[in-house]
Amino acid sequence: MLNQSSFIENIGDKQVRTLADALHYIATGPQQMYQDYGFALHIVCLKDSQQAIGICGLLKRETLPEPDIGFAFLDGFSGKGFGYESAQAILNFEVNDKKLTKILAITALENLSSQALLMKQGFVFDKTITLADRSEESNLYGYQ
């Protein structure tokens, strides 16, 4: 999924090309984030078959003051409501159960489907920003 053109265009190239790269990405990304902050990206699976179809969860970036929600899906599973359902589950758990008071979200300027999903979830556009590790601008949203 990390090598799909849609992922690279909207999120970025994570340079995961081999199994070793993938194991390193998981260990230094989601697993480390969970150890450090108590939240991370989760695998999203189909209920019936348990087939992995994407990821959704919270991230803590050094360049943002609050955690932000992130989600991505295999191309065949985008636009089918899985993003909304998984983002709602994350928000319910992280906001209600862990009592987080503010969650951010970022999108590529051209990523209209993610922007619509965030607004449907109750996120409000704040401003455009440029993250430290990127050269292009992103939209920043807030959820309280």
pLDDT tens for the chain, 144 residues long, are 999 998 988 888 899 999 999 999 999 999 999 999 999 999 999 999 999 999 999 999 988 999 999 999 999 998 899 999 999 999 988 877 777 889 999 999 999 999 999 999 999 999 999 987 777 899 999 997
pLDDT at 81: 92
pLDDT at position 77 is 95
Which class would CATH give 5-143? Answer: alpha beta
Q: Would you call 132 exposed, middle or buried from its count of C-beta atoms within 10 A (0-12, 13-18, 19+)?
A: exposed
Q: What is the β-pairing status of strands 103-108 and 68-73?
A: parallel
Domain ranges of the chain: 5-143
Token pair 């979830």 is at which residue? 121
Name every residue whose Cβ is closer than 8 Å to that of residue 76 and which is 6 or more positions away in sequence. Answer: 53
By C-alpha distance, which of 39, 80, 38, 41 is closest to 57?
41
Name the β-bridge partners of 79: none
Residue 107: predicted pLDDT: 93
pTM: 0.88
Q: How high is the pLDDT of residue 57?
A: 95
Burial 87-124 (b: 16+ CB within 10 A, else e): beebbeebbeeeebeebbbbbbeebeebbebbeebebe
